[in-house]
């Protein structure tokens, strides 16, 4: 055990030396030759356990010194040692310094040591008592905290059970009726009351044509304790970029929540909350198939607070429930849309069957009309060569020939493909496909740019399937420019069709997935269909070839056109590349390999090696 510190104060050096010699084996002895020196010693050694002071010293008496020490260091045990037995000195020492013992000089060493040991024991008891009291105080504080935590936990459990009860009741109603919107407002009210919130809102997230993200207020519950004149309702729509909340949007899109107080936010975000009188909030993303459909926002407009984890967890269950309900609605709507698209596709198939029949039925009367026109031309040439009816008869024959050619093309195109392949110059395949569109484009004021070259290598392919690909892409381009013209009146609608060939490059062989690096590849033929229509967002571009995926209203498309196109291109061993910018247009590029070794025969019978 470490020795206790003992300070002896005496103005006589001999006494200081004798005291130190006598007690240094029992205590850590410190000495001072005046009251002032003693007080300075206390400043250096605040843990002095005992102080023994001579009564009569110059400047400050022993009684006055002990009184000062009592005030500054009350735990130090104080003793008086003097050669005088003046009752007044004794009373002063007792009254001022509350001394533990009064000793007279000369001292008896055994008696002095006994008294000092008892004083030391008193000091130890005092320190132990203080330590025990401090421990007791600390335990009481811990107990108070535990009691408070227990009450808060009990309160949180009650609130959590209220929230989960509301979620469970709402889930049962949604399951039985599927109309989740009918039960959302009561759910928000129970949620707000259970969490002692000021407001509970639901926002749905949207993206406009310029890919700007915004949130639209769908439901709002407000506590009756809120003064709506001082705290107005939240805005119906807010834009994440305009309101400087892009950081929040990034967090929500990852499916993570924001739980915070206004003072903990950076300047512009804190200003946004202050503008709406929000002190504390919980923002929970409502995820629908890994995308953020909307937000469940719980706010306190009166105070900043720490939201209990149990209540947050229960509130997340409410957000999850609404997300699942929205997902089920979307799946039902998608199912109905696909059923309608299948029905529409069935009607298109029936139209194809009818086209083959109509082609045969119309051909017969058209043949009679053509025969009559020829006979009329012969008669007029023999009898009335200059009659104006001769030109009319000739025009009739020409128009009948066009109709019969179109009917024959419809018959061939509507006949199911049997995977028959032949060597084809795609210039004529594209020309046949354009037969269906040239007049349509002219009537719709769509400018068609035909940048096709006859001087391309022949390829071995299924001609009808390639024609179907071109027709689908042209129909898609026509829809895109028409929709943009609806939004921008007198918009110059344009569609480009290109056909050309080029030397194969490494990138081409990689696109086509050719083995051996495409060593036997002689050229690649490129078909491009481009428009300056509405274009596509990146998300739409990535999914536009998925079966039944469509952005068109029901009845305007089946969601199968581009899917069938992509399937045919893959089946034929070609590569499809889609480039698109929202609001600017789209480009569909088909890369076709050719391995022909013989010269290219052009339409005018010229030969290109």
Query: pLDDT per residue over 423-454, tens digit each?
Result: 888 898 888 888 778 888 888 899 999 998 88
Name the 3-class secondary structure at 425: coil
Region 132-144: what's the mean pLDDT?
90
Please provide the DSSP assignment of 131-145 as one string. HHHHHHHHHHHHHHH
Query: Residue 499 belongs to a domain with what CATH number?
Result: 3.30.565.10
pLDDT tens by residue, 560-585: 678 778 888 888 888 999 999 998 99
Residue 336, domain CATH: 1.10.287
Kindly report, residue by residue over 108-137, the tens digit of the pLDDT.
Answer: 889 889 999 999 999 999 889 989 999 999
| pTM higher than 0.75 | no
∠449-455-459 over CA atoms, to 5°?
Answer: 100
**Same domain, residue pair 385 and 436:** no
pLDDT of residue 557: 56
Confidence at 334, pLDDT banded by 50, 70, 90: confident
Give the per-residue pLDDT at 273: 87
Q: What is the pLDDT of residue 396?
A: 77
Strand order in the sheet with 447-452: 447-452, 494-502, 523-531, 585-594, 575-581
pLDDT of residue 598: 45
pLDDT at 585: 92
Position 315 in a domain: no
Q: What is the pLDDT of residue 189?
A: 92
Least reliable range by pLDDT among 160-174, 294-308, 419-433, 484-498? 419-433
Q: Are 149 and 59 in contact, with CB atoms under 8 Å apart?
A: no
Same domain (yes/no): 15, 42: yes
Residue 605 reports pLDDT greater than 50: no
Could you tell me if residue 157 is inside a domain?
A: no
Token look-up 């029901």 returns 554
Burial 420-437 (b: 16+ CB within 10 A, else e): eeeebbbbebbbbbbbbb
Other Cβ atoms within 10 Å of 104 Cβ, number: 13
Whether residue 138 lies inside any domain: the answer is no
Query: Are 506 and 588 found together in one domain?
Result: yes
* Distance set, CA 281 to CA 254, 284, 292, 308, 509 (Å): 19, 10, 18, 12, 56
- 145 occurs within a structural domain: no
Dihedral, CA of residue 358, residue 359, residue 361 and residue 366, to nearest 10: 130
Q: Are residues 241 and 110 in the same domain?
A: no
- 223/225 Cα distance (integer angstroms): 5
The residue among 86 and 586 whose pLDDT is bigger is 586
In Å, how far are 80, 124, 253 from 249, measured between CA atoms?
Answer: 78, 64, 6
* 299 in the same domain as 202: yes
**Same structural domain, 504 and 596:** yes
* pLDDT grade for 607, boundaries at 50, 70 and 90: very low
Is there a domain that residue 45 lies in?
Answer: yes
470 and 503 in a single domain? The answer is yes
Q: Is 166 inside any structural domain?
A: no
pLDDT category of residue 6 using cuts at 50, 70 and 90: very high
Query: End of a domain among 307, 335, 360?
Result: 307
160 located within any domain? no
Q: Is residue 601 part of a domain?
A: yes
- Check whether residue 295 and residue 441 sit in a common domain: no
What pLDDT, on the 0 to 100 scale, is given for residue 419? Answer: 61
Structural domains of the chain, count: 4
Q: Can you list the positions of beta strands (E) in 208-357?
A: 213-222, 237-239, 258-261, 280-288, 291-300
Q: Average per-residue pLDDT in the chain?
A: 82
What's the confidence (pLDDT) of residue 559? 56
Q: Are residues 508 and 596 in the same domain?
A: yes
Give 45-57 pLDDT, tens digit per residue: 989 999 999 888 8
470 pLDDT exceeds 60?
A: yes
CATH number at residue 254: 3.30.450.40
Flag whether pLDDT at 604 surpasses 60: no
Report the CATH number at residue 34. Answer: 3.40.50.2300
Q: Encode pLDDT of 354-388 as tens digits.
A: 665 666 667 667 776 777 777 777 777 777 767 77
- Same domain, yes or no, for 449 and 578? yes
Residue 334 or 473, more confident: 473
Domain containing residue 346: 326-416
**Same domain as 351, residue 299:** no
For residue 498, what pLDDT is reported? 93
Burial call 370-397: b when 16+ CB within 10 Å, e when fewer:
beebeebbeebeeeeeeeeebeebeebb
pLDDT recorded at residue 379: 76
Neighbours of 504 (CB within 10 A): 19
Q: For residue 542, what pLDDT band results from cuts at 50, 70 and 90?
A: confident
pLDDT of 342 over the 90 cut: no
The per-residue pLDDT for 601 is 47
What is the predicted pLDDT for the residue at 352? 59
Judged against a pLDDT cut of 60, whether residue 39 lies above it is answered with: yes
Of 379-393, 408-422, 550-564, 593-607, the poorest mean pLDDT is in 593-607
Residue 21's alpha-carbon distances to 17, 55, 408, in angstroms, are 6, 21, 134
Domain boundary among 104, 132, 160: 132
Considering 416, 433, 462, which residue would you say is the last residue of a domain?
A: 416
Question: Do 10 and 69 have their domain in common?
Answer: yes
């Amino acid at each position: 055990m470490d020795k206790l510190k003992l300070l002896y104060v005496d103005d006589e050096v001999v006494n200081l030396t004798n005291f130190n010699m006598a007690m240094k084996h029992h205590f850590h002895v410190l000495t001072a030759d005046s009251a002032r020196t003693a007080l300075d010693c206390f400043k250096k050694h605040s843990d002095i356990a005992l102080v023994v002071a001579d009564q009569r010293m110059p400047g400050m008496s022993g009684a006055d010194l002990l009184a000062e020490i009592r005030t500054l260091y009350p735990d130090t045990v104080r003793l008086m040692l003097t050669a005088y037995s003046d009752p007044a000195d004794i009373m002063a020492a007792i009254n001022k310094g509350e001394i533990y013992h009064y000793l007279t000089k000369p001292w008896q060493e055994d008696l002095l040591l006994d008294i000092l040991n008892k004083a030391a024991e008193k000091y130890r008891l005092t320190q132990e008592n203080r330590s025990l009291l401090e421990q007791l105080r600390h335990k009481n504080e811990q107990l108070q905290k535990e009691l408070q935590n227990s009450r808060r936990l009990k309160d949180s459990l009650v609130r959590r059970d209220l929230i989960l009860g509301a979620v469970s009741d709402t889930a049962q109603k949604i399951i039985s009726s599927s109309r989740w919107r009918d039960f959302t407002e009561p759910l928000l009210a129970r949620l707000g009351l259970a969490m002692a919130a000021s407001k509970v809102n639901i926002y749905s997230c949207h993206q406009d044509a310029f890919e700007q993200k915004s949130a639209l207020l769908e439901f709002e519950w407000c506590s009756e304790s809120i003064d709506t004149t001082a705290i107005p309702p939240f805005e119906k729509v807010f834009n994440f970029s305009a309101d400087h909340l892009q950081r929040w949007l990034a967090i929500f899109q990852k499916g993570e929540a924001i739980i915070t107080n206004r003072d903990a936010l950076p300047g512009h975000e804190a200003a946004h909350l202050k503008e709406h009188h929000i002190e504390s909030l919980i923002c929970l993303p409502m995820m629908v198939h890994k995308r953020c459909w909307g937000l469940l926002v719980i706010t306190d407009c009166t105070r900043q607070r720490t939201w209990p984890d149990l209540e947050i967890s229960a509130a997340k269950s409410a957000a999850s429930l609404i997300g699942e309900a929205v997902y089920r609605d979307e799946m039902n709507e998608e199912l109905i849309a696909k059923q309608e698209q299948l029905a529409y596709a069935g009607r298109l198939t029936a139209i194809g069957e009818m086209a083959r029949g109509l082609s045969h039925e119309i051909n017969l009367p058209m043949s009679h009309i053509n025969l009559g026109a020829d006979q009329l031309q012969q008669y007029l040439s023999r009898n009335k060569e200059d009659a104006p009816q001769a030109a009319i008869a000739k025009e009739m024959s020409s128009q009948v020939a066009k109709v019969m050619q179109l009917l024959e093309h419809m018959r061939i195109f509507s006949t199911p493909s049997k995977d028959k392949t032949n060597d084809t110059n795609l210039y004529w395949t594209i020309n046949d496909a354009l037969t269906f569109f040239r007049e349509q484009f002219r009537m719709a004021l769509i400018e068609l740019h035909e940048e096709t070259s006859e001087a391309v290598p022949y390829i071995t392919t299924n001609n009808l399937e390639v024609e179907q690909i071109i027709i689908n892409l042209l129909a898609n381009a026509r829809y895109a420019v028409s929709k943009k013209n609806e939004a921008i009146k007198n918009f110059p609608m344009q569609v480009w069709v290109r056909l050309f060939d080029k030397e194969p490059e490494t990138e081409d062989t990689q696109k086509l997935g050719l083995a051996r690096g495409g060593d036997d590849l002689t050229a690649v033929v490129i078909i491009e269909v481009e428009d300056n229509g509405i274009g596509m967002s990146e998300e739409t571009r990535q999914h536009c070839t998925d079966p039944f995926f469509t952005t068109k209203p029901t009845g305007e498309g089946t969601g199968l056109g581009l899917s069938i196109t992509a399937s045919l291109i893959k089946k034929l061993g070609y590569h499809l590349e889609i480039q698109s910018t929202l609001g600017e247009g789209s480009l569909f590029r088909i890369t076709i390999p050719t391995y022909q070794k013989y010269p290219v025969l052009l339409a005018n019978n010229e030969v290109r090696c």
